[in-house]
């Protein structure tokens, strides 16, 4: 049937009306989005903030806990005339502050609408209670419970990191996860474990009537959501040891790291100068001061600073030499104040008897001996040229966890540097370099860059005789399971048997009777059976860096420590006693009477002035 | 005297009472909802009663009823045809004058201010345009199929429309598109409506999808129509469909080829336009030889369609104003912006959506009461209906409009004079356009275009002009029924 034009138009009218009705049906009945939209003015979302997960140390002490604080909220549309002076005194602020705030809200009136805005943040309970008593006088003002970090120990400021309110930038980087007024961990463990620690927000949904009175709980609270508190974290840190380590390192620039070799758990990680925990809880106020500090307290030297390891590295070269078969423990090499190499150059050494065998060379830290060792490695006939031998050498070195990130669970870790043959080919041309060109690598100088954490890990490898667990800060605990890689042994490319001689040397360095020329006698503690190796690394920016690694006891070691003090001088003078005091404290719980003098010398020493500031 | 006698005798029979009741219901609904949308702004007291919008609207409503009675009962309906041309001329002059002397209200220069009262010539212009169009078509020698007559009819519509665009009242100008329906009823080819629809479709497709998709759709429509006209739909399915379907995958090929490929240097659009341009002269030659009209039309449509596609970018970015462009972008989903341009629509949708099936009850609306929905008593009055009366209320209101428009068309069709019929269609089309654009806007189907909902929105000038418009028709209709 042919429709008349009139009927076609009427059909069009009905179709259009049907489209409108269909759309209304969708918007009003099918779709829930517009009913539950948070900008729905009749629904009042009352946010419940979760408490942040607690950070514990390995012994159950709280490193970072929570305390209650209050935000003061204002709903400008509900505010009636009030006594500005009375409110100012209740909140302990100036009347001008309140006037200014209220004026600001008036300007943004249409944007704010019936919502609440925050006037003051994180008031401590004492201040809030004063306001709460008088709150009835100020309609439109109310308090909201928040939680704030609290630190029972002054331990681990840098490794814990701080928590602060999210800003625009942060919200953009984590789309959909945060809203204004949320807090998030920004550095350290707080940042690394943010997802576990933060918990989930909850809310009550209330209904308002058209006169803006709260009338009802939406659907009897069926749609409400409880806040889920953040998960607690158990760290591997020993709070008391950490605190003690911080005291030993005070007024010095450098780092002190202790690892439990049998697990890879980090017992102590000090970066000095660091951030005190009372600064952490109020980071906003101190931020400019921290940033302008020439010693950069925010810079976590333990995982980020790349230092030359100095003589400590001789141990690795020695092990490589033994494994490659170019060195036998019985080999002796002469050393008269150093090792001469081409054109009358000489790599100097301190005065000691000569010639020495391997153990003695380790004990006395002879530079000359390890030049021969490194020469043997690079001029090994097995390989066609220096380049190939060097690449082989580098493979060994990286198997000790050097040259790249260890992969600890601490954020912002850096990997240091172990040069490659390509690097030298680029500088000197292919085959344009040989052993004497890179001779400083034999004693841990030159292009080597190693973080204190990596040095401590070398120590743990020695303690374990050839393997390590990737160092980490978080332990398995209820609700938290750490990556399985932290439970796996990483073996070096050096056979376990070769470690025996090196450890003998390290034991002698500490425990040989006086007069034998041992380098680390200062670390000796009777009964602890300490093994150690000093290092004195050249620092182009001033006095030498003082380095020391040690582990104890010799058999079944329980702790491996690396101490690195910038511009302090000989390893034996500063780093050596610092590390040994830490070991003693950990193993015996106290410092022996005769070592108290050493302890107070270390704690009172002020070595900051030797460090060149930027 | 016969006039009076008849009026006394036949009043119930001659006036379409159902439409009058429908009118009154809509106006009362408007009044109730205007009160609802402003009542929370402050309690009504005796002192501020006359300040309130609801009170003002009540006064306007009474005035409108008086005017309606005057038109229906006193004025001789034959007057309207007589004054159509002069009133049209005067209103056009007023439309021009208001650009220069009019007060600036909400960014447009379309209002005359006479003391406390302001009015928009554009409102009256709809009536005068309808009257003059009706008078024109009512002329015995008028044939829409004659080019000359068609151009005159088009000019009558387009002249006020262009002036109103110059007044920056795009919304009101859009309503004039409704006159196309009148012309269609009076014999304009259906192809004309079809072409306008296709052009709008191509414009939207070009913006939302891509010029390529748009060109592809154009080709399929034109080839389909050509084959349909020649009764060879089967052949179209066998030849054109596979070609077009495979062409749809070309852009995929482009993205797969990557940026380094030579393909990236040519736009996919030219893959279609190129062959089309080459084949057009050949097709034109064939069409010339066979004297095939449908082929010629196809060729012209393809060229016109491609011109539309190519000019879309220009029109969209150069001709449209920033705020219009962003409104279209938000509507077409090209931009999410719930706090800026999308704010109105989002708030409007929340208000309507939160009404649910039966609404929150009269005066219990929270969204509209807090003043979150802008222009809630004027352009967004439908939100109040949606929130407080729910889906049921919305359907009732839309039903009233459909009933009104339907009734007008029915009466118009029954009249013997072309003047009454054409005028009736004009009124129906105008109400229809307002309804579609306004409600479409509040439910997010149309861009935000500021035009009132007839008889419901707050505003005396709007209420009065719609009253006059509708009651002139009722008077004409009554006259028909009385004398024939």
Between CA B215 and CA B223 the distance in angstroms is 12
Q: Answer yes or no: is pLDDT of B2 > 50.
A: no
**Inter-chain residue contact B185 with A5, CB threshold 8 Å:** yes
**Cβ B133 vs Cβ B422: under 8 Å:** yes
* pLDDT for position A136: 84
Return the higher-pLDDT residue of B232 and B71: B71
To the nearest whole angstrom, how far is the Cα of A36 from the nearest Cα of chain B? Answer: 8
Chain B positions touching A27 (Cβ under 8 A) are 349, 352-353, 443-444
Which of the residue ranges A407-411, B209-213, B281-285, B477-481 would you say has the lowest mean pLDDT? Answer: B209-213
* pLDDT for position B3: 52
**Cβ A550 vs Cβ A561: under 8 Å:** yes
Query: Looking at the complex, does the CB of residue B355 fall below 8 Å from at least one CB of chain A?
Result: yes
Q: What is the DSSP letter of A556?
A: S
| CA-based nearest residue in chain A for residue B413 | A6
Q: Which of A9, A13, A21 sits opposite B395 (nearest CB)?
A: A21
Return the higher-pLDDT residue of B45 and A435: A435
pLDDT grade for B371, boundaries at 50, 70 and 90: low
To the nearest whole angstrom, how far is the Cα of B254 from the nearest Cα of chain A? Answer: 31
Sign of CA dihedral A356, A361, A364, A370: positive
Q: How far is CA B302 from CA B275, B283, B309, in A?
A: 12, 12, 10
* pLDDT for position A210: 58
**Cβ B375 vs Cβ A55: under 8 Å:** no
User: Which tens digit of pLDDT belongs to each residue from B68-87?
Assistant: 999 988 888 889 999 999 99
Chain B positions touching A17 (Cβ under 8 A) are 398-399, 401-402
* pLDDT for position A244: 94
- Residue A192 tokens, joined: 């690394």
pLDDT grade for B9, boundaries at 50, 70 and 90: very low
* Range with the largest mean pLDDT of A44-53, A309-318, B165-174: A309-318
Backbone angles phi, psi at A202, to 5 degrees: -120, 180
Give percent of chain A above pLDDT 90: 40
Sequence-ordered list of residues with C-beta below 8 angstroms from that of B329, at least 6 positions apart, any chain: B335, B341
Could you tell me which residues of chain A have a Cβ less than 8 Å from any Cβ in chain B? 5-6, 9-10, 12-14, 16-17, 19-21, 23-25, 27-29, 31, 33-35, 37, 39-42, 113-114, 208-212
**Inter-chain residue contact A14 with B402, CB threshold 8 Å:** yes
| CA-based nearest residue in chain B for residue A21 | B395
Query: Looking at the complex, does the CB of residue B86 fall below 8 Å from at least one CB of chain A?
Result: no
- Residue B54 tokens, joined: 């609801």
* pLDDT for position A312: 92
ipTM value > 0.95:
no
**Inter-chain residue contact A28 with B394, CB threshold 8 Å:** yes
* pLDDT for position A218: 72
Alpha helices in A293-433 (DSSP H): 301-304, 314-324, 358-364, 367-378, 386-398, 421-428
Query: Looking at the complex, does the CB of residue B386 fall below 8 Å from at least one CB of chain A?
Result: yes
For residue A553, say if its preceding peptide bond is cis, omega within 30 degrees of 0: yes
Q: Which of B352, B370, B413 sits opposite A28 (nearest CB)?
A: B352
User: Which tens digit of pLDDT belongs to each residue from A438-469?
Assistant: 998 999 988 899 999 999 999 999 999 999 99
To the nearest whole angstrom, how far is the Cα of B352 from the nearest Cα of chain A? Answer: 6
The helix (H) or strand (E) run that includes residue B66 is helix B53-69
Judging by DSSP bridges, how do beta strands A542-552 and B108-114 pair with one another? Answer: unpaired
Chain A positions touching B355 (Cβ under 8 A) are 28
**Inter-chain residue contact B443 with A114, CB threshold 8 Å:** no
Q: Answer yes or no: is pLDDT of B37 > 80.
A: no
To the nearest whole angstrom, how far is the Cα of A110 from the nearest Cα of chain B? Answer: 9
Q: Is A514 helix (H, G, I), strand (E, B) or coil?
A: coil
* pLDDT for position B46: 46
Q: Span A592-610, mean pLDDT?
A: 88
To the nearest whole angstrom, how far is the Cα of B255 from the nearest Cα of chain A? Answer: 28
**Cβ A375 vs Cβ A326: under 8 Å:** no
* pLDDT for position B168: 75
Which of the residue ranges A103-117, A246-260, A319-333, A370-384 would you say has the lowest mean pLDDT? Answer: A103-117
Instruction: Identify the residue whose tokens are 């008349």.
Output: A4
SS3 labels along chain B? CHHHHHHHHHHHHHCCHHHHHHHHHHHHHHHHHHHHHHHHHCCCCCCCCCCCHHHHHHHHHHHHHHHHHHHHHHCCCHHHHHHHHHHHHHHHHHHHHHHHHCEEECCEEEEEEECCEEECHHHHHHHHHHHHHHHHHHCCCCCCCCHHHHHHHHHHHHHHHHHHHHCCCHHHHHHHHHHHHHHHHCCCCHHHHHHHHHHHHHHHHHHHCCHHHHHHHHHHHHHHHHHHHCCCHHHHHHHHHHHHHHHCCHHHHHHHHCCCCHHHHCCHHHHHHHHHHHHHHHHHHHHHHHCCHHHHHHHHHHHHHHHHHHHHHHHHHHHCCHHHHHHHHHHCCCCCCCCCCHHHHHHHHHHHHHHCCCCCCCCCCCCCCCCCCCCCCCCCHHHHHHHHHHHHHHHHHHHHHHHHHHHHHHHHHHCCCHHHHHHHHHHHHHHHHHHHHHHHHHCCCCCCCCCCCCCCCCCHHHHHHHHHHHHHHHHHHHHHHHHC
Q: Span B373-401, mean pLDDT?
A: 88
Q: Is B192 helix (H, G, I), strand (E, B) or coil?
A: helix
pLDDT grade for B229, boundaries at 50, 70 and 90: confident
User: Which tens digit of pLDDT belongs to each residue from A571-590?
Assistant: 888 999 999 999 999 999 99
**Inter-chain residue contact A33 with B356, CB threshold 8 Å:** no
User: Which tens digit of pLDDT belongs to each residue from B98-130?
Assistant: 888 766 665 566 777 766 667 788 889 999 999
A/B interface, count of CB pairs below 8 Å? 104
């Amino acid at each position: 049937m042919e429709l008349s034009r009139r009927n076609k138009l009427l059909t069009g009218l009905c179709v259009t009306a049907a489209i409108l009705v269909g759309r209304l049906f969708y918007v009003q009945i099918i779709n829930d989005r517009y009913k539950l939209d948070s900008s729905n003015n009749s629904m009042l979302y009352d946010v419940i903030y979760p408490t942040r997960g607690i950070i514990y140390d390995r012994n159950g002490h709280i490193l970072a806990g929570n305390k209650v604080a209050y935000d003061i909220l204002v709903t400008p549309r509900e505010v009636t005339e009030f006594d500005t002076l009375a409110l100012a005194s209740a909140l302990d602020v100036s009347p001008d502050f309140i006037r200014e705030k209220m004026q600001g809200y008036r300007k943004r009136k249409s944007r704010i609408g019936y919502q609440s805005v925050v006037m003051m943040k994180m008031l401590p309970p004492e201040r809030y209670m004063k306001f709460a008593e008088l709150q009835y006088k100020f309609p439109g003002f109310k308090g909201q419970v928040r939680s704030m970090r609290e630190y029972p120990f002054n331990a681990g400021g840098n490794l814990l990191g701080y928590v602060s309110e999210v800003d625009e930038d942060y919200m953009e980087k984590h789309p959909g996860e945060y809203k204004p007024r949320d807090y998030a961990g920004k550095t350290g463990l707080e940042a690394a474990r943010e997802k576990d620690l933060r918990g989930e927000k909850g809310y009550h949904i209330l209904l308002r009537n058209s006169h803006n009175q709260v009338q009802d709980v939406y659907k009897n609270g069926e749609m409400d959501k409880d806040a889920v508190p953040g998960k607690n974290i158990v760290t591997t840190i020993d709070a008391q040891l950490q605190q003690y380590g911080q005291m030993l390192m005070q007024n010095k620039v450098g780092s002190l790291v202790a690892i439990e070799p049998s697990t890879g758990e980090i017992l102590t990680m000090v970066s000095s100068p660091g951030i005190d925990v009372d600064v952490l809880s109020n980071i906003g106020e101190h931020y400019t001061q921290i940033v302008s500090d020439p010693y950069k307290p925010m810079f976590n030297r333990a995982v980020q600073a790349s230092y030359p390891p100095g003589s400590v590295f001789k141990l690795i070269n020695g092990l490589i030499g033994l494994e490659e078969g170019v060195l036998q423990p019985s080999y002796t090499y002469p050393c008269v104040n150093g090792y001469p190499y081409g054109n009358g150059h000489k790599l100097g050494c301190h005065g000691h008897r000569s010639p020495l065998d391997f153990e003695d060379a380790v004990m006395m830290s002879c530079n000359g001996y390890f030049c021969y060792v490194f020469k043997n490695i690079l001029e090994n006939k097995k390989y066609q040229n220096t380049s190939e031998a060097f690449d082989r050498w580098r493979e060994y070195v990286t198997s000790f966890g050097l040259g790249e990130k260890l992969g600890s669970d601490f954020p912002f870790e850096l990997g240091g540097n172990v040069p490659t043959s390509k690097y030298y080919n680029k500088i000197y041309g292919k085959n344009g370099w040989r052993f004497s060109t890179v001779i400083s690598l034999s004693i841990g100088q030159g292009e080597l860059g190693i973080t204190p954490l990596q040095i401590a890990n070398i120590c743990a490898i020695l303690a374990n005789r050839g393997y390590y667990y990737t160092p980490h800060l978080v332990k398995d605990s209820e609700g938290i399971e750490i990556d399985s890689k932290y439970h796996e042994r990483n073996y070096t490319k050096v056979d376990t048997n070769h470690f025996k001689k090196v450890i003998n040397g390290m034991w002698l360095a500490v425990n040989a009777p006086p007069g034998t020329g041992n380098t680390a006698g200062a670390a000796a503690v009777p009964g602890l059976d300490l093994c150690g190796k000093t290092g004195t690394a050249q620092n182009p920016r001033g006095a030498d860096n003082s380095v020391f690694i040690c582990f104890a006891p010799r058999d079944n070691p329980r702790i491996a420590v690396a101490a690195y003090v910038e511009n302090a001088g000989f390893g034996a003078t500063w780093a050596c006693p610092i590390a040994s005091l830490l070991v003693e404290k950990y193993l015996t719980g106290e410092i022996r009477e005769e070592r108290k003098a050493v302890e107070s010398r270390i704690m009172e020493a002020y070595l900051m002035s030797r460090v060149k500031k930027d | 005297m016969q006039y009076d006698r008849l009026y006394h005798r036949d009043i119930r029979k001659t006036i379409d009472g159902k439409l009058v009741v429908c009118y009154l219901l809509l106006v009362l609904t408007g009044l109730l909802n205007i009160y609802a949308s402003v009542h929370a702004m402050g309690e009504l007291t005796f002192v501020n009663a006359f300040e309130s919008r609801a009170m003002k609207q009540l006064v306007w409503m009474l005035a409108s009823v008086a005017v309606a009675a005057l038109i229906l009962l006193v004025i001789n309906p034959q007057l309207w045809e007589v004054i159509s041309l002069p009133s049209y001329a005067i209103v056009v002059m007023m439309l021009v004058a208001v650009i220069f002397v009019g007060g600036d209200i909400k960014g447009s220069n379309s209002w005359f201010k006479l003391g406390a009262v302001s009015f928009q010539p554009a409102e009256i212009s709809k009536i005068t345009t309808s009257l003059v169009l009706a008078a024109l078509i009512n002329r015995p020698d008028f044939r829409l199929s004659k080019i000359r007559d068609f151009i005159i009819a088009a000019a009558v519509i387009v002249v006020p429309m262009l002036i109103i665009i110059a007044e920056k009242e795009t919304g009101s100008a859009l309503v004039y598109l409704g006159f196309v329906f009148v012309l269609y009823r009076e014999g304009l080819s259906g192809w004309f409506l079809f072409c306008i629809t296709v052009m709008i479709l191509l414009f939207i497709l070009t913006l939302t999808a891509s010029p390529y998709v748009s060109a592809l759709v154009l080709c399929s429509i034109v080839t389909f129509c050509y084959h349909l006209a020649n009764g060879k739909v089967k052949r179209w399915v066998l030849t054109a469909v596979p070609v077009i379907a495979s062409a749809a995958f070309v852009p995929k090929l482009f993205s797969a080829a990557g940026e380094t490929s030579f393909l990236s240097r040519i736009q996919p659009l030219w893959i279609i336009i190129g062959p089309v341009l080459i084949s057009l002269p050949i097709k034109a030659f064939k069409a010339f030889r066979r004297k095939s009209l449908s082929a010629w039309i196809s060729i012209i449509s393809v060229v016109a369609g491609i011109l539309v596609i190519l000019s879309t970018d220009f029109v969209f970015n150069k001709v449209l104003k920033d705020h219009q462009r962003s409104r279209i972008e938000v509507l077409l989903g090209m931009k999410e912006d719930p706090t800026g341009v999308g704010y109105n629509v989002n708030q409007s949708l929340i208000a309507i959506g939160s009404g649910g099936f039966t609404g929150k009850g009269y005066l219990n609306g929270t969204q509209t009461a807090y003043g979150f929905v802008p222009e809630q008593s004027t352009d967004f009055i439908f939100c109040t209906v949606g929130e407080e009366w729910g889906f049921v209320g919305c359907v009732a209101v839309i039903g009233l409009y459909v009933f009104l428009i339907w009734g007008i068309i029915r009466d118009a069709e029954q009249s013997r004079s072309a003047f009454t019929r054409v005028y009736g269609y004009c009124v129906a089309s105008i109400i229809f356009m307002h309804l579609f654009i306004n409600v479409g806007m509040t439910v997010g189907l149309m861009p935000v275009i500021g035009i009132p909902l007839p008889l419901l929105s707050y505003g005396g000038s709007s209420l009065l002009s719609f009253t006059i418009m509708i009651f002139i028709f009722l008077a004409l209709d009554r006259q028909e029924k009385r004398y024939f």
